[in-house]
Amino acid sequence: MKKILWTVLLAGIMMFCACNVDEKPLEITPTPSLAPTQAPITELTSTSTPVPTEAPTAIPEPTVKPTQVPIPSPMNTPTPTEVHSKRNNIPFENNQLYAVAYLGYITIEDMDYYVENYLDEEEIPQYYFSGDEYYLIIPRYEDMEVRLYRNDLATMGKALEQECEAGKPFIVQCNVSDIFPDVTVELTYNGETVEFSPYISLKDGSVQVGDRGFNITKQNVSEEMEPQVPTQSEDGWTNLSDEEIRWFNEEFFNTGGDVKRNDFLNSAYADAKNISIYDTFYNLSEEISKEEREALRGSEIDFGVDYQKLTVPYMNGILQKYMNISFKEIDKVDLEYYLYLEEFDAYFGCHGDTNYSRVEVKRGVKDVDGNVKLQYLRTEDGKEYIVTLRAHENGYYFVSNIEVV
């Protein structure tokens, strides 16, 4: 009976242990042979294992970094070096090599706009040629060669005037004439040379920048940077036709008659009242009487050649017919070269030559009222002028005659 009770007691204990095994994990103490080695590093380096005399060879870095690998361009031509600046704001197309902006007449306008959007430089060089038109020119690439040439109307050639700093923006002041641009800009890049002359079209008022240029003029550029070309110029000037140029050359100027229109081109004047009496009437004279000749003989103007006589009514009639101004209104420029004799109430001169010159009209413009500006060449001395004519019902009045410098 005791044996049976002992057996039941042992079975109960075993069942009790089996039911509580998940409630408390078994703690296992590691044996010394399984414990981690705590030996100091000095003991490891003092072993008999030989130590290499040289440091292990480092893995070499690539000799060419990926960002430095050159990317070949088509046909093995060098990739253009563009200026990394505000000039990158200009949306050049593939073949465009420069940008141009018209800055204004007489004074430069909106320069702050161009500095803010396109320019990094604090100072922009300015080159004077003539006139009062200002243009900003920005080369596309920093290593572009730039040269400026002065255009010659007489020979239709050009002469080198200035070599500019490579790739730098600059301002040029030019175009004393409305109808003849007097500067040529030459740009060279990667063996290619292009050139153009900036000017304002008298046909539609647009800024002319050449085939390879981009127009960034503020008033002519929209938000998308597309040129806004006006269909008509603000002042209404349009180019004369070839037939109109021919008419001025053959039927208005260079004709016969006592009074020749070429005579009103013998002096420069900004206003009709400033015309030179001496140069204008040099080839004109009234009939001189015997008494007048006797009075002039031995005088301060007696040079042994032909005498010349001019009265105020005679000069007044010519001035009113061709200039719509009276002798009283003019400034009497160079009148002192004549001798005035009170008894005859006339002015006298003496010379045996002529100052007459044929002229060749090169180009011209007209406005809606028919007024005309002509640029012409005097064949006698090779000088260039711009004459302005005001239209009236019977022809034209001479208004001004300005030399092109």
Q: Are residues 369 and 381 in the same domain?
A: yes
Q: Are residues 294 and 391 in the same domain?
A: no
Establish if 372 belongs to a structural domain.
yes
Q: What is the pLDDT of residue 272?
A: 93
Q: Which residues of 372-387 are buried (b: 16+ CB within 10 A; e: fewer)?
A: bbbbbbbeeeebbbbb
Q: Are residues 301 and 387 in the same domain?
A: no
Q: Are residues 184 and 152 in the same domain?
A: yes
Q: Which residues of 1-33 are buried (b: 16+ CB within 10 A; e: fewer)?
A: eeeeeeeeeeeeeeeeeeeeeeeeeeeeeeeee
Establish if 174 belongs to a structural domain.
yes
Q: Are residues 253 and 291 in the same domain?
A: no
Q: What is the pTM of this model?
A: 0.46
Mark which of 335, 352, 369 sits at the end of a domain: 352
Q: Are residues 128 and 182 in the same domain?
A: yes
Q: Are residues 255 and 395 in the same domain?
A: yes
194-249 pLDDT per residue, tens: 999 999 876 667 889 999 999 999 864 333 333 333 233 445 689 999 999 999 99
Mark which of 352, 377, 395 sits at the end of a domain: 352
14-57 pLDDT per residue, tens: 555 444 544 444 343 444 443 444 444 333 333 444 444 444 44
Q: Are residues 290 and 259 in the same domain?
A: no
CA-closest candidate to residue 138, choices 92, 184, 81, 107 = 92
CA angle 319, 322, 325 (to 5 degrees): 45
Q: Are residues 294 and 348 in the same domain?
A: yes
State the total domains in the chain: 3
Establish if 227 belongs to a structural domain.
no
Q: Across the chain, what does the average pLDDT equal? A: 79
Establish if 34 belongs to a structural domain.
no
> At 259, which CATH number?
3.10.450
CA-closest candidate to residue 197, choices 129, 115, 126 = 129
Q: What is the pLDDT of residue 8?
A: 52
Q: Are residues 191 and 96 in the same domain?
A: yes
Q: In what helix (H) or strand (E) does residue 159 lie, and over which residues does it extend?
A: strand 157-164
Q: Are residues 193 and 260 in the same domain?
A: no
Query: How many helices and strands, by DSSP H and E, does the chain display?
Result: 7, 19
Residue 209 lies in domain: 86-220
Residue 45 burial (10 A CB sphere; 0-12, 13-18, 19+): exposed
Establish if 294 belongs to a structural domain.
yes
339-376 pLDDT per residue, tens: 999 999 999 999 878 888 999 999 999 998 899 999 99
The contacts of residue 344 (CB under 8 Å, 6+ apart) are 291, 292, 295
Q: Are residues 246 and 137 in the same domain?
A: no
Residue 183 Rama label (left phi>0; alpha psi -120 to 50; beta): beta
Establish if 81 belongs to a structural domain.
no
Mark which of 166, 193, 220 sits at the end of a domain: 220
Establish if 54 belongs to a structural domain.
no
